[in-house]
Structures are given as structure tokens and as C-alpha cells.
Amino acid sequence: MNVFQAVKENVTARQAAEQYGFEVKHGGMMCCPFHDDKNPSMKVDKRFHCFGCGEDGDAIDFVGKLFSLKPKEAAEKLANDLGIAYDGQERYKPTKTSIIKRIKREQEKNTVRRCNDVLSDYFSLLRQWRRDYAPESPHDRFDPHFVESLQYMEYIDHLCEEFNYRTDAGKLAFAKEYADMLSKIEHRIAAENVGARSQCRTL
């Protein structure tokens, strides 16, 4: 596989833009680097297209224009910076810097994914408790699960909406800001799961 094939199959225009420091906003929009763009007018996905100046192409085209490189040079830069191996005179060997960058990107993706999973799982649990532990009459004593759902369900729903509305960079910042709370929620969910399994064994 030559460098063009390797890059085209592994790198989208959005990945290229984010690799070189551009913030992609909601809906895949970003400010175009190829003209004076005050409001995001470039759509980046597998390819890119600017609705302001008309620039259009794939990841290689984006990097070529961004750094004033010929297509092969742009493809090689992407391969080198992202640690993509390809056939040529010499097989590319990832540098220490590229490996560190790749590991950091994976860690950031895992952090965002964890935040999404913890909030979603806890909200689902609270919604289940609101339904399953609701008192049948005004004189019934409130179950602690039902009380917890009353205390936190709306707040967690708000956090889920705020998280989902943010850009990728914003979601990462959100996950870091609420890291302590997410850890406590994880322990709460884990404790509940252990309790549920114990109940199943006694039935």
C-alpha cells in the first residue's frame, strides 16, 4: 500500500484538521483557514468543503494547502505525524513524538467515552428507580432509591444535555472538570450492581 492509499483509507479531513489544532464545532463546522473566516463556514467530515471560499478536498488536499506542500509531501506528513505505515523505499517507523501523540489521543477519547457512559448509565438507573420504587400510596415510606432519583435525576439529565451539546474539545474539558463526580457515580453504580447480584444469589 503506497502512502496515498494508506492515508486516504485511514485519515479523514476532520482528523487532519484536529491533528493540526483546529477546533471542530457542533455539526462538523470549523473556521476556514484559507480565508478570513470569522464564523465557521467549513464543513469537515471524510472530506472538507468551505461554503465561504469554495475550497474542497480530502485530508491530503487540506494538509497540502495548509502547509503549502505537494500532494505526496502532504500525504507523507500525515503518515508521519499520525504513525501510519506505508510501502515505499523505506517502511515508516513511528517516532517517539508520534507515538506519544497517538497515545494521548486515545486516552482523551477514552476519557470522553467514559464520561458519556457513566452519565448515561446513571441517568438510566435513576429513571428505573423513579419507576420501580415509586410509592403506591401517599402513606408509604419512600424507598432510598426513589429518593435518590428525586434528588439527582433532573440534574444528571441536565449534565447529559450539556455534555452532548459540546464540541469534542469541550467534552474533554467537561470530563476533566467533573472527574471527581464521575468517579463517585461509578462507585455508586458498581455498588448497586454488586447488591443486585447478591440478591439474585439468595433467591
pLDDT band at 193 (very low <50, low <70, confident <90, very high): confident
Would you list the DSSP string of 21-64? TPPPBTTTEE--TTTT-SS--EEESSSEEETTT--EE-HHHHHH
Q: Could you state, in order of their start, the residue ranges of all structural domains in the chain?
A: 3-93, 99-202
- Tell me the residue type at 43: K
Q: Which three cell numbers stand for residue 29?
A: 463546522
pLDDT band at 179 (very low <50, low <70, confident <90, very high): very high
The residue-averaged pLDDT of 150-176 equals 93
Tell me: pLDDT of 203 over 70.
no
Tell me: pLDDT of 18 over 80.
yes
Contact yes or no for 32/50 (Cβ under 8 A): yes
Average of per-residue pLDDT values in the chain: 87
pLDDT band at 93 (very low <50, low <70, confident <90, very high): low
| Domain 3-93 bears CATH identifier 3.90.580.10 | yes
The residue-averaged pLDDT of 72-95 equals 76
Tell me: pLDDT of 144 over 50.
yes
pLDDT value, residue 89: 39
